[in-house]
Structure 1
Amino acid sequence: MWAAGDLSLKPEQPGYFDVAYGDDPAQKLDIWLPDQTTQTYPTIFFIHGGGFISLDKRESESSPVVLEALNRGYAAVSINYRMLPQVHFEETIQDIQDALRFVIDHATDFQLNTTNLVVWGGSAGGYLALMAGLQRPQWVKRVVAWYPITDFPQIDTQLASNQLIQQFLPPRASDHDKTYVPATPLAENTEFPFHNTADSLDAQFVGDSLAHPSVKGLLASPINYLTPTMPPMLLQHGSGDEIIPMQQSVEFAVKAQRITQDHRIQCEIIPGAIHGSVLFMTPENYNHIFDWLSRKEH
């Protein structure tokens, strides 16, 4: 299961909309402002998910975070980018970097303060947020990544392990909401591999099969870009995620802490939460995340 809400954003409030940061029709962004004044605002740059093939900067994947940011006095930048089948991971990552550069270069034109720029995303957007922070730490000061991919070749092995383990654990409280729908294809015990097939979305995005070790699989995986200079990152993942297993975030954080020798990379597991769960968007979790965003690094 995964969440598929129907809340969409409408450009009826202060901001700048469908601003082009490139020549392709997909390379556009929206800038949402809390108030139309002359001041500048701290900025959250939000990247939507959708399996690298779907969704939009104003759809339900982006809208809750954008609205929460506005309510807390932040400006929010929500972006579109090129996706499958048009491009592979290199071009999509380049789009994010081009959009970031555009926002930083034109910050004062759009009432943005990008001194402490936050990049936030969920699922595919969480993956792209991590890559932005890892590859452009001079621009990105903090990253929030919800249920991201961090290591493409390991996803199926981790999913299979989780399904086996769940057979022997006591039943847990289920994560239910009216927005939840079956994922396609369904991840049943007998249907592995789920990601590591020649025609999976992940394989198409990487540009090579994930059923065997490949250079592209390594280059596309954030876990292979960890450095001592990476910015603080908060990863949150659900233990009930049957699309992207929680080990993707856990193993990323463990390796990151070994490299940085500190705890600037944090990983938090939300018990029972599925992919895109409403449990990530509770008032309590938003308070926790925004407290973390305002914390000073020592």
Structure 2
Amino acid sequence: MKERIKFAIIKSFKFLLFIIIFFVTTNNFFVGILLFLVANIKLIRRSIFGRLPYKVSKKASRGPFSYNYTSHLKLDLYYPTEGDAPFPVVVFAHGGGWITGFKRQPNNVSWYRFLNSQGFAVASLEYRKAFYAKIDNIISDYSQAVKFIQENAFKLKVNPEKIVLMGLSAGGHLALYYTARNSFLKNLSSSIKAVVAFYAPCDLTDLLSEEVTSFFARFALVTTMKTLPVRNSINCIHYSPITWVSDSMPPVFLAHGLKDTVVPPKSSIKMYKKLRSFKVKAVLKIHPKGDHGFEFVLKDGFTYKILDDLVSFLKCVVEK
């Protein structure tokens, strides 16, 4: 009986907390930022100090070269120092729960240099944040960035027929959602050869599951969806990449840490199973000890193997 009462109190407290967060984030931007910083200290520290385990020289990369892809948003291009243009290009979307993060974070830059060292150009994009924009605005920004790269490939010195979409966490969600929905609607360009997502919320309702202990995950979802977190929320279902999986999707590479407390690994596992049920070529790599952003922290054999497998995957899809 006491356990039931305790559980009810905790559930009621959480619900009240979500109401407070929802009110604050939709009515006071600066207080919302403060709440985010408090909730996200560990992730911020990891973003500032994290690096991929491979040590890549700065000389392996040229850039950034910035371009406006809309009147108010930019993307950065990083190029390999070896090889000849036009280069296959990875369109990279940073993480941060749709509410924070920026394209030149040190952890992201380590990804760009690593990909450059493997012969890929990287187009890193910024997008509006959910504190003051709707999810449709963010998705529109992402779509505009991809379109800009396709239409300006010659000027950007990238191969318009060899484009890979990639993202971390929320950025992975954007890459998967864009690919899945446009594939479902038969609108995806054949120039998109693959999509890569590291620890992405493939099913947004997974962020409300009991195994998610991160306050930040729920905070970000509430802020982005502009509604209180309900597991059967129409918005959560509509904006989940897993909803739009079809047999028209290009190859997909998923990676997740088994100990992830921000986005549960079951989100990628479910996505992988659904992709395979539609006979989509899909790869799923699970780090048995990895938390959110594992590749910036763990320098073990599992991390190196996942990165090596990713490079093999990328080279295979662009060479076809």
TM over 0.5: yes
CA contact (8 A) 1:208 1:217 kept: no
Cα distance per residue 1:251-275 (max 9 Å; x no partner): 11112222x2x25122221101000
Structure 2: unaligned runs, 5 residues or longer: 1-41, 52-57, 183-187
The amino acid of 2:311's aligned partner reads: F
Correspondence for 2:71: 23
Q: State the 1:16 CA deviation.
A: 5.8
After superposition, the Cα gap between the structure-2 partners of 1:280 and 1:269, relative to the gap in structure 1 and judged at 3 Å, is: farther
CA contact (8 A) 1:126 1:144 kept: yes
Cα distance per residue 1:275-294 (max 9 Å; x no partner): 00134894433221010112
After superposition, the Cα gap between the structure-2 partners of 1:107 and 1:58, relative to the gap in structure 1 and judged at 3 Å, is: same
Correspondence for 1:166: none
Q: Does 1:226 align with 2:245?
A: yes
Q: Does 1:269 align with 2:280?
A: no
Q: Does 1:75 align with 2:139?
A: no
Correspondence for 2:208: 156
Q: What secondary structure is seen at the aligned counterpart in 2 of 1:228?
A: coil
Q: State the 1:295 CA deviation.
A: 2.1
Structure 1: unaligned runs, 5 residues or longer: 164-182, 186-193
Query: Hey, what's the Cα distance between the residues in 1 that align with 2:289 and 2:102?
Result: 27
Tell me how large the CA RMSD over aligned residues is. Answer: 2.8
Q: What secondary structure is seen at the aligned counterpart in 2 of 1:4?
A: helix
Q: What secondary structure is seen at the aligned counterpart in 2 of 1:51?
A: coil
Q: State the 1:212 CA deviation.
A: 4.6
- Given candidates 27, 41, 48, the residue that maps to 1:5 is 48
Correspondence for 1:145: 197
CA contact (8 A) 1:236 1:269 kept: yes
Q: What secondary structure is seen at the aligned counterpart in 1 of 2:106?
A: coil
Correspondence for 2:88: 42
Cα distance per residue 1:153-175 (max 9 Å; x no partner): 23222526xx8xxxxxxxxxxxx
After superposition, the Cα gap between the structure-2 partners of 1:104 and 1:54, relative to the gap in structure 1 and judged at 3 Å, is: same
More displaced, 287-296 or 108-117? Answer: 287-296
Query: Hey, what's the Cα distance between the residues in 2 that align with 1:41 and 1:91?
Result: 29
After superposition, the Cα gap between the structure-2 partners of 1:204 and 1:268, relative to the gap in structure 1 and judged at 3 Å, is: same
- Given candidates 148, 170, 173, the residue that maps to 1:102 is 148
Query: Hey, what's the Cα distance between the residues in 2 that align with 1:117 and 1:226?
Result: 20
CA contact (8 A) 1:49 1:122 kept: yes
Answer 1 or 2: which has greater helix percent: 2
Q: What secondary structure is seen at the aligned counterpart in 2 of 1:244?
A: coil
After superposition, the Cα gap between the structure-2 partners of 1:13 and 1:256, relative to the gap in structure 1 and judged at 3 Å, is: closer
Correspondence for 2:305: 284
Query: Hey, what's the Cα distance between the residues in 2 that align with 1:33 and 1:45?
Result: 12
- Given candidates 222, 239, 243, the residue that maps to 2:262 is 243
More displaced, 139-148 or 288-297? Answer: 288-297
CA contact (8 A) 2:255 2:268 kept: yes
Q: What secondary structure is seen at the aligned counterpart in 2 of 1:295?
A: helix
Q: What secondary structure is seen at the aligned counterpart in 2 of 1:90?
A: helix
Query: Hey, what's the Cα distance between the residues in 1 that align with 2:294 and 2:64?
Result: 30
Correspondence for 2:314: 293
**How many residues end up aligned between the 2 structures?**
261
CA contact (8 A) 1:39 1:111 kept: yes
Q: What secondary structure is seen at the aligned counterpart in 2 of 1:141?
A: strand
The amino acid of 1:157's aligned partner reads: S
Correspondence for 2:236: 217
More displaced, 233-242 or 206-215? Answer: 206-215
The amino acid of 2:71's aligned partner reads: D
Q: Does 1:118 align with 2:187?
A: no
CA contact (8 A) 2:115 2:121 kept: yes
CA contact (8 A) 1:152 1:210 kept: no
The amino acid of 1:285's aligned partner reads: I
CA contact (8 A) 1:49 1:125 kept: yes
Q: TM-score, normalised to structure 1's length?
A: 0.79
Cα distance per residue 1:19-49 (max 9 Å; x no partner): 111122xx11001111398731111111100
Q: What secondary structure is seen at the aligned counterpart in 1 of 2:119?
A: coil
CA contact (8 A) 1:16 1:31 kept: yes
Query: Hey, what's the Cα distance between the residues in 2 that align with 1:273 and 1:206?
Result: 27
Amino-acid identity (%): 25
Query: Hey, what's the Cα distance between the residues in 2 that align with 1:156 and 1:280?
Result: 30
